[in-house]
Amino acid sequence: MYSKLLCSMVVTVIGIGFVGADEFGATITKVDGDKITYQKFKKIKGKAPEKDGDAVVINAKGAKVTFGTYNKDTKKFDATDAIEGGLKNDMFAKIGEKGVNARLTTEGEGKDAKVTQVGITKKKKAAE
């Protein structure tokens, strides 16, 4: 009886670990309503960054959109100021060819994945 309980607890803990939040750096290339298109890049020492896979479209409905800094000690994004208008800000409405570098926090996997926070590490003037 205890072995079944122990096994079910292990499976539950592993399942929760896979559903946890993920935080990573990416370049936002397009914002369409509540959908964000982003591209991850690989850093290669001594070379220009290379694309890491294909661009991804993900739901960002209700995401917190802020300026902030990346904390190297905790390896997390520390939000400072909210971005006025969120994803409707001109910064996202008029994305150039280079895109907008951001720190994205996501939860879920596959089709159920969504962005919970968009962190911009450099304050940029909104496009005029």
- Please report whether residue 128 resides in a domain: no
- Please report whether residue 39 resides in a domain: yes
Look up residue 128 and give its DSSP letter.
Answer: -
Distance spanning both ends of the chain, measured CA to CA: 67
What is the count of structural domains for the chain? 1
**Percentage helix, strand, coil, to 5, in the chain?**
20, 40, 35
What string of DSSP letters covers 52-97? -SS-EEEE-TT-EEEEEEEETTTTEEEEEEEPTTGGGSHHHHT--T
What pLDDT does 12 receive?
58
Output the tens digit of pLDDT for each of the chain's 128 residues: 656 655 566 555 555 444 556 888 899 999 999 999 999 988 888 888 888 889 999 999 999 999 998 888 988 888 889 999 999 999 998 888 889 999 999 998 888 899 999 999 865 544 44
- Please report whether residue 13 resides in a domain: no
Domain carrying residue 55 = 21-120
